[in-house]
């Protein structure tokens, strides 16, 4: 009788990142429509559908329509200031989104994307309630995905440290390094857009709010990859 042969183990193939690819395609489609419409059309879209903190403040005070103003917390995520802005954002999203989607599932990824953008927008409005420049871009939403990635996939080689009497784990410190890297790259991008004249147009709180949302939400799925649901 012949001995049984060794079991054949097939390599694991992650499922297609449908949600990540769909969000990427949606942002590209919106930017293409704006480009086709021309400069005047693009400016009108950004002003009407971008997030303007002063408009939100006026709506909350009863001085402007409430529902259209609140909808800009969502619509601003799909708008970008140009192809370079869009490309840099989507490059990061394409990198980390597929891995996070593998752990969370597609609908949870969409929810995290929206939550990061909304919380980031709220943080920016709170920080600058009278700001009149439209905020556009998926940076807050992508920061949430990036924050989740930091928790779910970062391997810590950093020892825990005590800061102000509190012990901070190595995983938390690693996540904070991810945050610093992400925000630093966004600031450098802003410098490039502004021609080195300053960073007044960088909505920094959208990034911070989004990243903190991702850090908190990732605790739902634990500390590492799990089978796709």
CATH number at residue 128: 1.20.1540.10
Under the banding of pLDDT at 50, 70 and 90, the label for residue 200 is very low
Least confident of 99-108, 159-168, 172-181, 201-210: 159-168
Contact 169, 158 (CB under 8 A): no
181 domain residue, yes or no: yes
Domain range for 137 is 18-221
Please name the helix (run of DSSP H) or strand (run of DSSP E) that holds residue 167, with its range, or none: strand 166-168
In a domain, 228, yes or no: no
Q: Can you tell me the distance from the alpha carbon of 223 to that of 207, in angstroms, rounded to the nearest whole number? A: 22
pTM for this one?
0.79
pLDDT score, position 207: 86
Within-domain flag for 81: yes
Q: Which of 84-88, 124-128, 156-160 has the lowest average pLDDT?
A: 156-160
Please count the structural domains in the chain. 1
**Which stretch of 57-61, 147-151, 223-227 has the lowest confidence by average pLDDT?**
223-227
pLDDT tens digits along 9-36: 455 456 688 999 999 999 999 999 999 9
Q: Is the pLDDT of residue 51 over 70?
A: yes
Task: Answer whether residue 50 is part of any domain.
Answer: yes
pLDDT digits (tens, 9 = 90+) for 89-148: 888 899 889 989 988 899 999 999 999 999 999 999 999 999 999 999 898 999 999 888
Residue 98 lies in a domain: yes
CA angle 107, 169, 163 (to 5 degrees): 125
DSSP state of 105: -
Residue 7, in any domain of the structure: no
Which has more confidence, 229 or 44?
44
**In-domain check, residue 9:** no
User: Is residue 139 included in any domain, yes or no?
Assistant: yes
- Mean pLDDT over the full length of the chain: 80
Question: Angle 62-68-69 (CA atoms, 0-180°, nearest 5)?
Answer: 60
Q: Which two tokens stand for residue 218?
A: 């990732």
Which residues fall within 8 angstroms of residue 48, CB to CB, at 6 or more apart? Answer: none
């Amino acid at each position: 009788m012949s001995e049984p042969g060794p079991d054949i183990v097939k390599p694991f193939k992650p499922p297609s990142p449908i949600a990540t690819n769909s969000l990427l395609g949606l942002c590209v489609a919106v930017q293409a429509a704006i480009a086709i419409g021309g400069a005047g059309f693009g400016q009108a879209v950004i002003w009407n559908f971008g997030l303007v903190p002063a408009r939100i403040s006026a709506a909350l005070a009863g001085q402007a329509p409430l529902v259209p103003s609140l909808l800009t917390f969502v619509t601003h995520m799909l708008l970008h200031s140009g192809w370079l802005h869009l490309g840099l954002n989507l490059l990061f999203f394409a990198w980390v989104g597929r891995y996070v989607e593998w752990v969370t599932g597609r609908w949870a990824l969409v929810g995290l994307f929206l939550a990061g953008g909304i919380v980031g927008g709220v943080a920016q409005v709170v920080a600058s309630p009278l700001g009149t420049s439209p905020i556009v871009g998926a940076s807050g939403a992508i920061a949430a995905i990036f924050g989740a990635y930091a928790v779910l996939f970062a391997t810590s080689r950093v020892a825990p440290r005590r800061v102000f009497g509190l012990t901070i784990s190595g995983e938390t410190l690693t996540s904070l390094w991810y945050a610093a890297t992400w925000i630093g790259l966004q600031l450098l991008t802003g410098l490039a857009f502004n021609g080195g004249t300053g960073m007044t147009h960088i909505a920094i709180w959208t990034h911070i709010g989004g990243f903190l949302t991702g850090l908190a939400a990732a605790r739902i799925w634990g500390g590492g990859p799990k089978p796709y649901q």
